[in-house]
Amino acid sequence: MKTARLFLCLAAFAVTVPEAPADAEELVRFESVPVKLSPFRIRKARELGEILPQPQGTPLLGYLSRPSGDGPFPAVVVMHGCDGLRASVRELWPKRLVSWGYVVLVVDSFTSRNLADTCPSRVPDRVFDAYGALDFLAQSGFVDIGRVALMGFAAGGTATLDATKIEGYEQLVERKFKAAIAYYPACDADRGDATVPSLILTGERDNWSRPERCQKRLARLGDDSPPIELDIYKGTYHGFDAPEFAVGKRVLGHIEKYNPDAAGKSIRSVYAFLRRYLGR
């Protein structure tokens, strides 16, 4: 029997979400996981007598926040969208997650690459940024590295799904995420099974990250796939969780608009999901 589940969210979840103060964030520096050379490239280099350079990671910045105490704590790595670190991703979500008891590392994939906005162009491959953040947290001493979720928004949500799909980049790295959360990602019906329990949250009217593509992916999951929950919020658009879109705006022909009701429901869904798979 398939373990994937589909939810059309029309009513609030009966979940009480606590709020508590968080310690100040800290600017940290780390590197993306280096892209490994393929066996074919290594073999050809040996045949030609080449000396291949050691793969290098990309220098990155991140914003680290943590609850009070020594830990070890579960943690969440957060990936921003193609528009960069907007306020809800940089500030609201970290404060919320820390108040729930999680260490949070928000990855800045743009500053060190001299990028400001990649929405009209190709987005750099950010899967390795996520795993670089996971490696960084493994060295912290206050994170339970076996209980770390990956969470992304829009293009960051797409990277989250790519980082946790079967036969994807995940098989090239040593450390693994425990769960994945993707807000309005660009789902691919052929992306394959997930490697971890996943939560996808999207808007019914989102024509940038179309929900029907996520539905098609769920319909093609294998019987042994970890559970994927799909929450589709009726009457909502892209960016529905972001208060900075309260007025609503059009970007590249797509509508981004905050919906407080859907935002509240999604927050409760995320809270319940993290408690289920990471614990406190």
236 touches 262 (CB < 8 A)? yes
- Tens of pLDDT, residue by residue over 49-78, are 666 556 678 999 999 999 999 889 999 999
User: Each residue of 78-105: pLDDT tens digit?
Assistant: 999 988 898 999 999 999 999 999 999 9
Residues 31-57 have a mean pLDDT of: 64
Q: Give pTM, 2 decimals.
A: 0.86
DSSP 83-101: TB--HIIIIIHHHHHHHTT
Residue 18: per-residue pLDDT: 54
DSSP secondary-structure letter at 257? -
| Domain CATH number, residue 258 | 3.40.50.1820
pLDDT, mean of residues 238-245: 91
- Between 107 and 114, the more confident residue is 107
**pLDDT of residue 21 exceeding 60:** no
Domains in the chain, number: 1
- Convert the pLDDT of each residue in 124-156 to its tens digit: 679 999 999 999 999 999 999 999 999 999 999
d(CA 257, CA 134): 31
Say which residues have a Cβ less than 8 Å from residue 226's Cβ, sequence separation at least 6.
Answer: 3, 193, 194, 195, 196, 197, 198
279 vs 43, 75, 266, CA distance in Å? 45, 10, 18
**In which domain, by residue range, is 159 found?**
5-9+18-277
Nearest to 87 by CA among 63, 120, 60, 59: 63
Q: Which of 189-203, 230-244, 248-262 is predicted most confidently?
A: 230-244
